[in-house]
Amino acid sequence: MPLPRSLLPALLLTLPLWVGAQDARPDTAPGRASPPAAIASPQVVPLDEAARATLERHDVVFDDHGTTRRCEGVSLAALLQASGAMPVAPLRGGDLTRYVLVSARDGYRALFSLAELDPTLGGRTVLLADRCDDRPLEATRGPLRLVIAGDTRAARSVRQVERIVVVAAP
C-alpha cells in the first residue's frame, strides 16, 4: 500500500531526528570491546626523512602513463600508523569514516579512505616513494611521490607530495 502524500512532509521533518538517533548508537554492545580511542582530526602526517627512516622499505612496479617504472619507498599505511594517524589494530567504528588527503606542491590532490589502506579491509598497497628506477626522484616528480599498486591509471600517483592529512568525515 503506497504512503499517503499527506504524510510525506511529516516524515521528511522527522528524518534528521531518526538519522541523528542512529548516529548516537554506541559502537559497542554489552560484552564487546570498547570503541577505539579518538584520534585528532585533522592530523598532519610528518613526511621528513626521520619519520620514514625506521619504516620497512618496499618496491612496486607500476604503469606511469605508458612507462613501466619500479619505485621504492615506505608503505603509506605504515607511515600513518607510525605517526598515530591510523590505529595499528584493524579499523572499526568511527575510524571507518576517516580519509587521507594527499596534496602536491602544484595543488594536485588525491583522496583515499583509511579503510582501503587497512590491511584487514582494503589492503591497498600505496607507497610514499622517494626512488624510482634505482635513483632518487627528479625534481619534477619528487622528492616524494605516491605510487598505488593495482591502479589501472596513475591518476592518484601524486607527484611532488608536500602534505598528507588524515581527516574524520563530518
The string of pLDDT tens digits covering residues 135-156 is 999 988 889 999 998 888 888 9
Output the nine-digit C-alpha cell for 41. Answer: 582530526
Instruction: Tell me what pLDDT residue 3 has.
Output: 43
- Res 37: pLDDT: 54
What is the model's pTM?
A: 0.75
Domain 43-168 has CATH 3.90.420.10: yes
Digit-coded pLDDT (tens) for 55-69: 999 999 988 888 888
- What is the distance between the alpha carbons of residues 125 and 150, in angstroms, rounded to a whole number? 8
| Low-confidence stretches of the chain (pLDDT beneath 50) | 1, 3, 7-34, 36
Cβ atoms of residues 81 and 128 within 8 Å: no
Residue 21: predicted pLDDT: 40
Q: What is the pLDDT of residue 14?
A: 40
- Nearest Cα neighbor of 125 from 157, 146, 148, 102 is 148
Confidence (pLDDT) at 38: 60
